[in-house]
Amino acid sequence: MLQEFKSFIMRGNVLDLAVGVIIGAAFGKIVNSAVNDLIMPLVGLFMGKVDFSNLFLSLSGGSYPTLAAAKAAGVPTLNYGTFLNTALDFLIMALVIFMIVKSANKVRRAEEPAPAPPARECPFCKSAVHDEATRCPHCTSELR
C-alpha cells in the first residue's frame, strides 16, 4: 500500500497540481494586495473618499461610527460594504487573470513552430511525401 501511495504521489499530474496550487496561492496574495492596497483606495477616492469596508447597517437600530465599533459592542450588522469589497476584489482578480492568460496565450502562439511543409501523395504507394522530394521515402519510387 505504501508503494502504491508513493507511485500515486510521484505521478506527474499530482506534482503539477501541487505546484499549481502553491503558485496560485502566492499569485492570489499578490493580486489581493494589488486590489486592496492599490486599486480599492483609488476607487474609494474617485467615489468620494468612501471606505467600503465601513459601510454597514446595524440590525439593532443603534448608530456606530465604524464596523469595528459595532462589532466591539456585539451588535449584529449587515456588512454590505465588506460584500462590495469582496465582489469588487473578485471582478478585478478575474480581469487580471483574464489579461494574464490572454497575454500568455499570445506568447505561446508566437512560439509555436511553423507548420510542416505541405505534403503530396505518392502516386504509387499513396503515402505522404514532402513537396520537394524526388523519391518516395516509403516505396523509393521516382517522383516527377
Query: Percent of the chain at pLDDT above 90?
Result: 3
Phi, psi of 74 (to 5 degrees): 75, 25
Q: Which three cell numbers stand for residue 41?
A: 483606495
Mean pLDDT of the chain: 83
> Boundaries of CATH 1.10.1200.120 in the chain?
2-112
What's the pLDDT score for residue 76? 92
For the four alpha carbons of 45, 95, 38 and 31, in that order, the dihedral sign comes to: positive
Q: Write the pLDDT tens digit of every residue in 25-66.
A: 888 888 778 777 887 778 778 877 666 778 888 888 888 888
24/37 Cα distance (integer angstroms): 19
Is it the case that residue 78 has pLDDT exceeding 70?
yes
Look up the pTM and report it.
0.51
Q: Write the pLDDT tens digit of every residue in 105-134.
A: 888 787 777 777 678 889 999 888 888 888
Q: Which three cell numbers stand for residue 75?
A: 451588535
Q: Which residues lie below 8 Å from residue 121, measured CB to CB, with a gap of 6+? A: 127, 128, 129
Longest dimension (CA), the chain: 96
Over residues 92-97, mean pLDDT: 80
Q: Which three cell numbers stand for residue 127?
A: 503515402
Amino acid code (one letter) for 77: T
User: How many Cβ atoms from other residues are within 10 Å of residue 132's Cβ?
Assistant: 9
Q: Write the pLDDT tens digit of every residue in 3-30.
A: 888 777 777 677 778 888 898 888 888 8
Is 1.10.1200.120 the CATH classification of the domain at 2-112?
A: yes
